[in-house]
C-alpha cells in the first residue's frame, strides 16, 4: 500500500512521514497525475453548458491529491533531502511540467473557462469568486492558451527545461555548500570567536570524527566566523569560499545554467507577447510594471546612497586604526561589529544569553495570542520527518482548532541554507467544512551543545519573527478556495505579514515577555533594550544599498529586451549591474548570481525588490499599531480580518487600504531607517 495514495488516517490528517519511503514518491506522482487527468476529462467531457460550478469550481477542486503529494515531496527536497530524493525530483519535475502544460494548453478546457469568463458580468459573483475566475482565465492566457500550433510545443519545451534547470541550480548550490569545510586544529588561529561558536565548531568536527574545530558555509557557522574572528586571512578564505559557490568551473558550476535560465525566460515572455520576463511577472504584482519597480528602487537608492557612502567612509576610517587601509568584503561584518560595540557599547554576544530559542518562540506565540487570540500547544502524536522538528496544535480564543504548526530550526546536511515558511496542507472551505492548514517554519539556527541551549543573535530573533509572520498568514487563512488562500498573494505583498511581525522584536513590552537570561532567568535589562533600539538603524544606509543591489541585479537579468547571453560572462554582467551600488572592491573569484537561489531556484525572479517594497508597507502599517497600541486587540483583529485571513481574494492594495484607511507612504520607512 502506498501511504501517499491513501486518506491520511492520522491526527488532523497530517502527513504520515514515518510510513513514507522514497520509493513511494514516483508511483504516487504518476497515479496522482492520472487521477487529476481524469478529473480534467470529466470537466471537458461535460455535455452541460459551462458555468461557474461545473467549470470554474470543478477545475479549482481538481488535482488535490497531486497538490498534497507535491507539497510533501518538494518540502522534503528543501528541508531533508538526499541523493535519492534529488534523483526523483529530476525525474518527476518534467512529468509535472508536462501535466501543467497539458492543462494550460487544453483547448476544450480553455474554451469552457473563457466562456464563463466572458459571461462574468451576468453571474452575480462575489469578490472571491470573481478573483478565482479572473485568476483562472489569466492562468491559461499567461501560459500559452492563446498560442497556436508550433508555438505551443515550444512553450512546453521551455517550461520543461526551466523546471529541470532550476532544480539543477539548487542542487549545485547545495553541493558546493556541503563540499566546503575549514578544518582548524590550532586554537590560536581562532582568537576573537565567541565560546558558543567554538563549541558548535568542535561539535561539528566531532560529528565528522575530526580533531579541533570545523567550520562550514552554513549560516550559523559562517556568520559568527566572519563577524568575530580576528584572523583576517582566514576570514578572507571563508568569504571567498562563500562567494564562489557554483562559480568554480567544476561539475557544480552554475554559470551556463544562469545564462540558459535567463535566455529561456526571455524567450518564453516574448512568445507570450511580453517585452521581457519582468513585464510578464509584474503584470500580476502590486507594482504592475518594471518601470514602477525601477523608479521605486532608484528613489530609495538616491535617498540611501549618501548615507551609505558616509557610513562606509566611517567604517573604513575606523578600520584604519587597526592598520587596515583597504577595507574588503571579508572585513565588513568584523569591523561593523567592533564599531557598533564602540558607538553603542553594543555586543551581539552579550545579548545572546537572553535569547534562548525556546523562549523567543514562546514570545512569538505570546504576541500572536495578544493580537489574534491564538494558542500554541506542543503535541507529540504528530509524525515528523526529522527528530529536530517540533509540532504544535494551534487553537483560537474559543479553543477551536485553527492549524498545525511544524517548527524545524537547526541546520543539517540535507537541508538548504536560509529560512522559509511553507505549507504541507492548504486551507479551503468545501461543502460547509473549513479544512484547516498545516504550516511549517524552517530556519538554520545554532544547535544546542552539551553546555548551552540554542542561543540566537538578535538578527536571528528577527528572522524567527519574520518567518512566523509568514506562518500566521498561512495559519489564519480563511477563504473558500485553496488557490486564493493564505500566502497565495502577489509576491510584493506576501512579505507584509512577515516584515511587520519583526517590528514587535524591538518593543520593550515584548522583549520583557521572552528575553530572559537562560541561566538566571533575569529579564533583559532596560539599558540593553535601549542599545538594541539605538543600534537598530546602525549602517542602515549600507544595508539598504545592499538589498537594493540584489533587487537591481534581479531586474538587470530580467527586464532588458536585448540581453545576448552568449556575448557576456555572468561575472561581467553582474559587475555592470552593481556599478551604482558598489561600496567594497570587487572580488574577482566571487559571483553572486551563481548561488542567487531566490531568483534562479525560488520564486523571486523579477521580484526581489519586493522585500524593500514590503518594508514600505510594513513600516506604514506598524505606525498604525504604534498610534493605537502595539497590542491593540481591535487593530490586531482588523489586520487579521482584512489582510491575514483574506489571502488573494482581492487586489492587495484594496486589502491594504481596507486595513490602513489610506495608501502606503515611504516616509515611515525612511524615518524608521534614520534616512530622512
Model confidence over 294-328: pLDDT tens digits? 999 999 999 999 999 999 999 999 999 999 999 99
Q: For 165-229, give the secondary structure using H, E and C.
A: HHHHHHHHHHHHHHHCCEEECCHHHHCCCCHHHHHHHHHHHHHCCCCCEEECCCHHHHHHHHHHC
Q: SS3 for 373?
A: coil
At residue 491, the pLDDT reads: 84
How far is Cα 256 from Cα 568, in angstroms, rounded to an integer? 11
Stretch (H or E) spanning 425: strand 420-425
The dihedral through the CA atoms of 477, 479, 481, 487 has a sign that is: negative
C-alpha to C-alpha distance for 195 and 181, rounded to whole angstroms = 20
Residue 563, pLDDT above cutoff 90: no
- The per-residue DSSP string of 592-635 comes to SGGG-HHHHTSS-TTTTTHHHHHHHHHHHHHHHHHHH-TT-HHH
Q: What confidence score (pLDDT) does residue 343 get?
A: 93
pLDDT tens for residues 445-494?
989 988 999 999 999 999 999 999 999 999 999 999 999 999 999 988 99
Spatial separation of the C-alpha atoms in residues 602 and 231, rounded to whole Å: 35
Distance separating alpha carbons of residues 52 and 128, to the nearest angstrom: 12
Answer yes or no: is pLDDT of 290 > 90: yes
Residues of the chain with pLDDT > 90: what percent?
89
Mean pLDDT rounded to a whole number for the chain: 95
Range of weakest confidence among 161-170, 252-261, 527-536: 527-536
The per-residue pLDDT for 295 is: 94
Structure letter (DSSP) for residue 119: T
Choose between 527 and 519: higher pLDDT.
Answer: 519
So what's the pLDDT on residue 237? 98
d(CA 401, CA 375): 10
Which of 57, 80, 467, 574 is labelled catalytic?
467
Whole-model pTM: value is 0.83
pLDDT > 80? residue 676: no
Residue 536 has pLDDT above 90, yes or no: no
For cell 545576448, the residue is: 564
Residue 150 has pLDDT above 80, yes or no: yes
Q: Per mean pLDDT, which range of 94-98, 275-279, 407-411, 627-631 is the poorest?
A: 94-98
- Rounded to the nearest 10 degrees, the angle between the axes of helix 22-44 and helix 107-118 is 60
pLDDT in tens, 49-78: 999 999 999 999 999 999 999 999 999 999
Residue 350 predicted with pLDDT over 90:
no
Least-confidence region, from 270-274, 446-450, 629-633: 446-450
DSSP codes, 303-343: HHHHHHHHHHHHHHHHHHTTT-SS--HHHHHHHHHHHHHHH
Contact 571, 265 (CB under 8 A): no
- Provide the Cα torsion 455, 461, 464, 470; round to 10°: 170
**Domains parsed from the chain with CATH numbers:** 3-146 (1.20.1050.40), 180-243 (no CATH), 353-540+611-672 (1.10.1370.40)
Digit-coded pLDDT (tens) for 456-469 = 999 999 999 999 99
The predicted pLDDT at position 362 comes to 98
The answer, yes or no, to whether residue 227 has pLDDT greater than 90, is yes
Question: Is 123's pLDDT higher than 90?
Answer: yes
Report the DSSP pairing between strands 438-442 and 401-408: parallel
User: Average pLDDT for residues 196-224, to the nearest whole number?
Assistant: 95
- 178 torsion bin: left (phi>0), alpha (psi -120 to 50), beta (else): alpha
Q: Using 50, 70 and 90 to split pLDDT, how confident is the model at 245?
A: very high
48 is annotated as an active-site residue: no
Q: What is the pLDDT of residue 190?
A: 98
Cell, residue 431: 461543502
pLDDT reported for residue 301 = 94
pLDDT above 90 (res 671): no
Q: How confident is the model at residue 178 (pLDDT cuts 50, 70, 90)?
A: very high
* pLDDT score for 549: 98
Whole-number Å distance between alpha carbons of 98 and 265: 17
Reported as a pLDDT band with limits 50, 70 and 90, residue 666 is confident
36-40, 218-222, 375-379, 402-406: least confidently modelled range: 218-222
pLDDT at 482: 97
Given a contact cutoff of 8 angstroms between Cβ atoms, the answer to whether 259 and 570 are in contact is yes
Amino acid at each position: 500500500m502506498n501511504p501517499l495514495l491513501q486518506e491520511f488516517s492520522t491526527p488532523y490528517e497530517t502527513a504520515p512521514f514515518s510510513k513514507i519511503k522514497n520509493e513511494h514518491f514516483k508511483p504516487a506522482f504518476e497515479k496522482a497525475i492520472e487521477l487529476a487527468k481524469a478529473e480534467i476529462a470529466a470537466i471537458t467531457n461535460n455535455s452541460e453548458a459551462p458555468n461557474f460550478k461545473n467549470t470554474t469550481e470543478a477545475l479549482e477542486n481538481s488535482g488535490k491529491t497531486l497538490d498534497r503529494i507535491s507539497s510533501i515531496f518538494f518540502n522534503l527536497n528543501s528541508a531533508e533531502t538526499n541523493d535519492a530524493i534529488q534523483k526523483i525530483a529530476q525525474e518527476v519535475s518534467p512529468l509535472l511540467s508536462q501535466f501543467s502544460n497539458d492543462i494550460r494548453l487544453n483547448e476544450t478546457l480553455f474554451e469552457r473557462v473563457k466562456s464563463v469568463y466572458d459571461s462574468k458580468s451576468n453571474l452575480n459573483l462575489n469578490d472571491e469568486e470573481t478573483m478565482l475566475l479572473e485568476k483562472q482565465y489569466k492562468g491559461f492566457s499567461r501560459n500559452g492558451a492563446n498560442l497556436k500550433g508550433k508555438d505551443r510545443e515550444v512553450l512546453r519545451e521551455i517550461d520543461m527545461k526551466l523546471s529541470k534547470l532550476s532544480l539543477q541550480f539548487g542542487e549545485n548550490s547545495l553541493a558546493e555548500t556541503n563540499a566546503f569545510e575549514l578544518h582548524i586544529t590550532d586554537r590560536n588561529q581562532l582568537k576573537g570567536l565567541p565560546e558558543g561558536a567554538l563549541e558548535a565548531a568542535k561539535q561539528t568536527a566531532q560529528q565528522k570524527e575530526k580533531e579541533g574545530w570545523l567550520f562550514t558555509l552554513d549560516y550559523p557557522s559562517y556568520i559568527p566566523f566572519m563577524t568575530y574572528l580576528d584572523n583576517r586571512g582566514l576570514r578572507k578564505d571563508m568569504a571567498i569560499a562563500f562567494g564562489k559557490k557554483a562559480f568554480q568551473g567544476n561539475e557544480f558550476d552554475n554559470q551556463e545554467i544562469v545564462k540558459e535560465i535567463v535566455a529561456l525566460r526571455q524567450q518564453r515572455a516574448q512568445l507570450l507577447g511580453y517585452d521581457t520576463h519582468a513585464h510578464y511577472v509584474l503584470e500580476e504584482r502590486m507594482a504592475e510594471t518594471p518601470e514602477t519597480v525601477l523608479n521605486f528602487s532608484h528613489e530609495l537608492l538616491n535617498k540611501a546612497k549618501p548615507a551609505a557612502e558616509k557610513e562606509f567612509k566611517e567604517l573604513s576610517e575606523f578600520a584604519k586604526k587597526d592598520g587596515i587601509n583597504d577595507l574588503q568584503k571579508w572585513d565588513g561584518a568584523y569591523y561593523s561589529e567592533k564599531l557598533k560595540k564602540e558607538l553603542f557599547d553594543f555586543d551581539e554576544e552579550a545579548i545572546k544569553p537572553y535569547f534562548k530559542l525556546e523562549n523567543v518562540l514562546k514570545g512569538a506565540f505570546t504576541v500572536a495570542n495578544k493580537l489574534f487570540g491564538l494558542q500554541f500547544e506542543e503535541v507529540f502524536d504528530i509524525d515528523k520527518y526529522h527528530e529536530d522538528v517540533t509540532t504544535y496544535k494551534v487553537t483560537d480564543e474559543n479553543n477551536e482548532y485553527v492549524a498545525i504548526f511544524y517548527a524545524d530550526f537547526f541546520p543539517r546536511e540535507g537541508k538548504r541554507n536560509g529560512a522559509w515558511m511553507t505549507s504541507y496542507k492548504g486551507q479551503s472551505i468545501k461543502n460547509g467544512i473549513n479544512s484547516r492548514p498545516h504550516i511549517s517554519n524552517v530556519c538554520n539556527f545554532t544547535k544546542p551543545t552539551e553546555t548551552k541551549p540554542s542561543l540566537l543573535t538578535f538578527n536571528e530573533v528577527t528572522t524567527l519573527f519574520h518567518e512566523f509572520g509568514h506562518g500566521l498568514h498561512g495559519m489564519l487563512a480563511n477563504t473558500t478556495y485553496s488557490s486564493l488562500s493564505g500566502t497565495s498573494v502577489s509576491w510584493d505583498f506576501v512579505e507584509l505579514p512577515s516584515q511587520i511581525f519583526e517590528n514587535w522584536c524591538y518593543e520593550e513590552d515584548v522583549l520583557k515577555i521572552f528575553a530572559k537570561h537562560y541561566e538566571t532567568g533575569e529579564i533583559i535589562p532596560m539599558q540593553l533594550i535601549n542599545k538594541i533600539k539605538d543600534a537598530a538603524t546602525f549602517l542602515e544606509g549600507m544595508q539598504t544599498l545592499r538589498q537594493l543591489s540584489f533587487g537591481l541585479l534581479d531586474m538587470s537579468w530580467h527586464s532588458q529586451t536585448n540581453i545576448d547571453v552568449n556575448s557576456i560572462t555572468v561575472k561581467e554582467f553582474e559587475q555592470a549591474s552593481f556599478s551604482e551600488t558598489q561600496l567594497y572592491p570587487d572580488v574577482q573569484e566571487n559571483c553572486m548570481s551563481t548561488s542567487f537561489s531566490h531568483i534562479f531556484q525560488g520564486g523571486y525572479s523579477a521580484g526581489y525588490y519586493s522585500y524593500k517594497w514590503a518594508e514600505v508597507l510594513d513600516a506604514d502599517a506598524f505606525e498604525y499599531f504604534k498610534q493605537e497600541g502595539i497590542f491593540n486587540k481591535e487593530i490586531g483583529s482588523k489586520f487579521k480580518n482584512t489582510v491575514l485571513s483574506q489571502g488573494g481574494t482581492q487586489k492587495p492594495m484594496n486589502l491594504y487600504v481596507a486595513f490602513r484607511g489610506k495608501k502606503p507612504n515611504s516616509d515611515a520607512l525612511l524615518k524608521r531607517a534614520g534616512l530622512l
